[in-house]
């Protein structure tokens, strides 16, 4: 027993020695607190964070990459900073923008101000753009989000970022999460939320990337429609290419919403 105590005492003494040296033998450096977290409070946001937010909206809520992707449905925007000034000088330009920032803003809210050759709505001879106004309808970006997207496009498109961070409350990156809690009540809301109108002609919107759905109930039954929503690639309508419609609606929509939408679509005759 005496040995045990001796050994314990010795060990504690050694631990104490190391502890003492670490606490008093060397200078104590207090590590810096972690950098301030990316907040949705725009007032406290740096430009980098604002640009990152724009990127998030561009890839997420804004649904921009549905079309602005490598599949060639819409022009790529990686050089928008350099081509925008040329476009503003183009004879076909109908807008009023004077700077890259204004041009980007304009093309987001009035997409038809300039239509890149070959990307117009079919039959309009490139005078009308298939792109929806991102502030309205299903996408519904607010001014702050719009500014963030413009900042992101300027940053990634090789232009100088000129957008000022708006001094207003946060864009609703959190909002959709809250809205998901309760199922939507009307089919119109479902269509708006999942931005069907960005691609389809439906509920007063004039999307032209996918089939016209205004009279879809005439030719298709509920089973077909349900399948088309859950697994868009199963049957591709004549005249359209596959791989455009997101295959993720089955996971995003609530059962009630899905059935409501199917019933609504089947009723369009």
Partner 1 sequence: MFMLPAFTPVANASEAAAPAAAAPAAAEAAAPAAAAEAAPAAAAVVYPPAPKLTEADYPTIKGVNARVAVWLVAQLHLWFGAFVVAVPMFVFIIESIGMMTRDERYDNMAYEFIKVSITAYSLTAILGGLLSFSLVLFYPDLFKYLALIFKESMFAYALLFFAESAVLYIYYYGWHWLQGGNKKWVHLTFGLLLNAVGVLLMFLANAWTTFMMSPAAVDAAGVFNGNTWEAIHNFLWNPINIHRVVANVAYGGSIVGAYAAFKFLSARNNEERAHYDWVGYNANFIAIAALLPLPFAGYYLTAEMYAYSQQMGITLMGGVFAWIFIIQAVLIGALFLSANYYLWCGMGRSEGAYRYNPRIKYIAIVLVAAFLVWFTPHTLVLTNSELKSLGGPYHAYLGVFGIMPAKNTAVNFLLTFTFMSFMFYRRANKVATVSWATTGNAAQIALFTVGLINIVILGVYYGYFTNTVYKVAASIPQVLTTLIIIIVSTVIDTFMYKGAKDVAPLHWGRMSTRSQYALFLLAVSFTWLMGLMGYVRSGIRQHWHVSNIFRDASPDAYTPGLGYAANIVSIGTIIFMAMVIFVFWLSTISGKHVVAKGYWKEQA
Partner 2 sequence: MTQKRRIPRLLQMVLIILGVYFSFILLFDVVLGQLIPKSLLTMYMLFVVAGVVMVFTFTEEGAQELVGPIKALVEDPSKKTVRNVVFVIVPLLAGYYTYSSMMPSFEAPMELRTIHPAPPTKFKAYGKSFNLATLENPYRKFQKEDPAKFSELVKAGGDVYIQNCQYCHGDKLDGKGPYASGLNPTPLNFQDVGTIAQLQESFLFWRIATGGPGLPAEAAPWISSMPVWQDFLTEDEIWKVILFLYDYTGRAPRSWAHE
The residues of the shown chain that bind partner 1, judged by CB under 8 A, are 3-4, 6-7, 10-12, 14-16, 18-19, 21-23, 26-35, 37-38, 222-223, 226-227, 230-231, 233-235, 243, 247-248, 250-251, 253-256, 258-260, 263
Which string of b and e fits 220-241 if b means at least 16 CB within 10 Å?
Answer: beeebbbebbbebeeeeeeeee
Rg of the chain in Å (alpha carbons): 27
By the rule CB under 8 A, 27 interacts with partner 2: yes
Nearer to partner 2, 52 or 109 (CB): 52
| Contact status, residue 147 vs residue 166, Cβ threshold 8 Å | yes
- The item of partner 1, partner 2, none sharing an interface with residue 48, based on CB under 5 to 8 Å by kind, is partner 2
Distance CA 143, CA 250 (A): 31
Nearer to partner 2, 33 or 118 (CB): 33
Phi, psi of 238 (to 5 degrees): -60, 135
Considering only residues 158 to 177 of the shown chain, the ones binding partner 2 according to CB under 8 A are 160-161
- The item of partner 2, partner 1, none sharing an interface with residue 250, based on CB under 5 to 8 Å by kind, is partner 1
- Nearest approach, Cβ of residue 13 and partner 2 (Å): 14
- Nearest approach, Cβ of residue 161 and partner 2 (Å): 8
Would you say how long the chain is, in residues?
Answer: 269
- Nearest approach, Cβ of residue 43 and partner 2 (Å): 18
- The item of partner 1, partner 2, none sharing an interface with residue 12, based on CB under 5 to 8 Å by kind, is partner 1
Distance CA 146, CA 134 (A): 8
- The item of partner 2, partner 1, none sharing an interface with residue 248, based on CB under 5 to 8 Å by kind, is partner 1
- Nearest approach, Cβ of residue 71 and partner 1 (Å): 12
Please classify residue 132 by burial: count the beta carbons closer than 10 Å to its beta carbon, then call 0-12 exposed, 13-18 middle and 19+ buried. buried
Query: Binding partner 2 by CB under 8 A: which of 13, 23, 30, 181?
Result: 30
- The item of partner 2, partner 1, none sharing an interface with residue 91, based on CB under 5 to 8 Å by kind, is none
By the rule CB under 8 A, 48 interacts with partner 2: yes
Q: What is the DSSP code (8-state) at residue 200?
A: S
By the rule CB under 8 A, 32 interacts with partner 2: yes
Count helices and strands in the chain by DSSP H and E runs: 11, 2
Direct distance between the N- and C-terminal alpha carbons of the chain, in angstroms, rounded to an integer: 94
By the rule CB under 8 A, 29 interacts with partner 2: yes
Q: How many CA atoms lie within 13 A of 79 on its CB side?
A: 5
Distance CA 240, CA 210 (A): 7
Nearer to partner 1, 111 or 232 (CB): 232
């Amino acid at each position: 027993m005496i040995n045990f105590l001796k050994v314990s005492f010795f060990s504690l003494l050694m631990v104490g020695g190391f502890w003492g040296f670490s606490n008093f033998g060397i200078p104590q450096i207090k590590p810096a607190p972690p950098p301030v977290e990316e907040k949705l409070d725009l007032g406290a946001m740096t430009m980098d964070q604002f640009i990152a937010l724009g990127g998030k909206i561009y890839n997420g809520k804004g649904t921009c990459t549905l079309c602005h992707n490598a599949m060639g449905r819409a022009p790529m925007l990686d050089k928008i900073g350099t081509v925008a000034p040329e476009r503003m000088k183009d004879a076909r330009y109908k807008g009023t923008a004077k700077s890259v920032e204004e041009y980007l803003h304009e093309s987001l809210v009035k997409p038809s101000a300039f239509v890149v050759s070959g990307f117009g709505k079919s039959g309009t001879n490139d005078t009308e753009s298939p792109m929806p106004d991102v502030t309205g309808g299903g996408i519904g970006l607010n001014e702050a989000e719009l500014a963030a997207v413009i900042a992101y496009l300027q940053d990634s498109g090789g232009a100088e970022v000129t957008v000022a961070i708006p001094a207003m409350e946060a864009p609703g990156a959190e909002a959709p999460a809250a809205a998901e809690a309760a199922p939507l009540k009307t089919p119109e809301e479902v269509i708006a939320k999942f931005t069907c109108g960005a691609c389809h002609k439906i509920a007063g919107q004039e999307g032209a990337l996918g089939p016209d759905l205004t009279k879809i109930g005439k030719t298709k039954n509920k089973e077909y429609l349900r399948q088309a929503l859950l697994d868009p690639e199963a049957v591709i309508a004549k005249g359209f290419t596959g791989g455009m419609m997101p295959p993720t609606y089955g996971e995003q929509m609530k059962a009630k919403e899905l059935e409501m939408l199917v019933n609504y679509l089947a009723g369009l005759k």
